[in-house]
Amino acid sequence: MSATAELERASHAIDRFVREFQPVYGLLAQHVALPLVLTPELVNFIRNRFLRADGVPWVAEVDLLLSDLCRPAGFELYVMSSAVRSHLLRKLEQDERFGRQRLEAIARSLMTYNHYLSRTNGLSAPLLQAQQWAAMVYLQPQREAAVREITAEFAQHGATVSEVGPFPPIQPAELARLAQIVQELAPELQEYGDLLEYARLITQVRAQPQAIR
């Protein structure tokens, strides 16, 4: 399926979700799209932090996590597809009531929440790391640091980001995980072409290893 078709399908899924419930459910979906992984506690945290004045009922948290917009990814862990997540974030940024300022506010709150989880063992280290990067790339002072950390992780588990070409990954599963994270965060990483190309190459190698022989 092409990227355009995926975005169109995501748009239809979001519209169905909002029609099934009420418009404020769409606000909740937009606000919780920034994290890469959702838990019931995190959705509740974001709703209470940002949407208390907008009439979003608490039951919307459950309805969202059990809807077609999310899929289970473990015990009380949920994820959105890349297309759904991208569409929701774009709608939030384009909303004149919120805009980029709201995205940055959510990112800062997510970093604070991640710090809390790091002290309570609320998430595994890899998931917590991904959540932190998802927040950092939305904050200009933190974006460069996130890129350095991701690049260092690539170097630790395989080749360096500057190496583009045939290579035998040392830890292919970890490289694939990192590549997927980079692709999820790509809209905020457009100025880091080498990193995006490296992630694309790893994904290609995993899908079609014969393509680089």
pLDDT band at 210 (very low <50, low <70, confident <90, very high): low
| 150 in Cβ contact with 196 (< 8 Å) | no
Q: Can you give the residue range of the structural domain that contains 5?
A: 1-107
pLDDT surpasses 70 at 212:
no
Report the C-alpha gap between 56 and 47 in whole angstroms: 8
pLDDT surpasses 80 at 54:
yes
Residue 95 three-state SS: coil
Residue 86 placed within a domain: yes
Residue 208 placed within a domain: no
Question: What pLDDT, on the 0 to 100 scale, is given for residue 208?
Answer: 64
The domain tally of the chain equals 1
- DSSP letters of 168-204? --SSHHHHHHHHHHHHHTGGG-TT-HHHHHHHHHHHH
Residue 169 placed within a domain: no
| 174 in Cβ contact with 129 (< 8 Å) | no
pLDDT band at 197 (very low <50, low <70, confident <90, very high): very high
More confident residue, 30 or 166: 30
Residue 23 placed within a domain: yes
Residue 158 placed within a domain: no
pLDDT band at 209 (very low <50, low <70, confident <90, very high): low
The mean pLDDT value for 3-10 works out to 87
Question: What pLDDT, on the 0 to 100 scale, is given for residue 160?
Answer: 56
Question: What pLDDT, on the 0 to 100 scale, is given for residue 172?
Answer: 81
Please write the tens of the pLDDT for every residue from 95-124.
999 999 999 999 999 999 999 998 887 789
Please write the tens of the pLDDT for every residue from 123-158.
899 999 999 999 999 999 899 999 999 999 998 876
Task: Please list the residues that pair with 74 across neighbouring strands.
Answer: 77
Residue 138 placed within a domain: no
Residue 34 three-state SS: coil
The mean pLDDT value for 47-54 works out to 96
pLDDT band at 184 (very low <50, low <70, confident <90, very high): very high
User: In one letter, which amino acid is 51?
Assistant: L
| 62 in Cβ contact with 41 (< 8 Å) | no
Residue 65 placed within a domain: yes
Residue 196 placed within a domain: no
Please write the tens of the pLDDT for every residue from 57-90.
999 999 999 999 999 999 999 999 999 999 999 9
Please write the tens of the pLDDT for every residue from 153-177.
998 876 555 554 555 445 788 899 9
Q: Kindly report the backbone phi and psi dihedral angles of residue 75, in degrees, each rounded to the nearest multiple of 5, phi listed first.
A: -70, 115
More confident residue, 202 or 69: 69
pTM score, two decimals?
0.88
Alpha-helical (H) ranges within 32-162 are: 40-50, 59-65, 82-94, 99-120, 125-136, 140-157
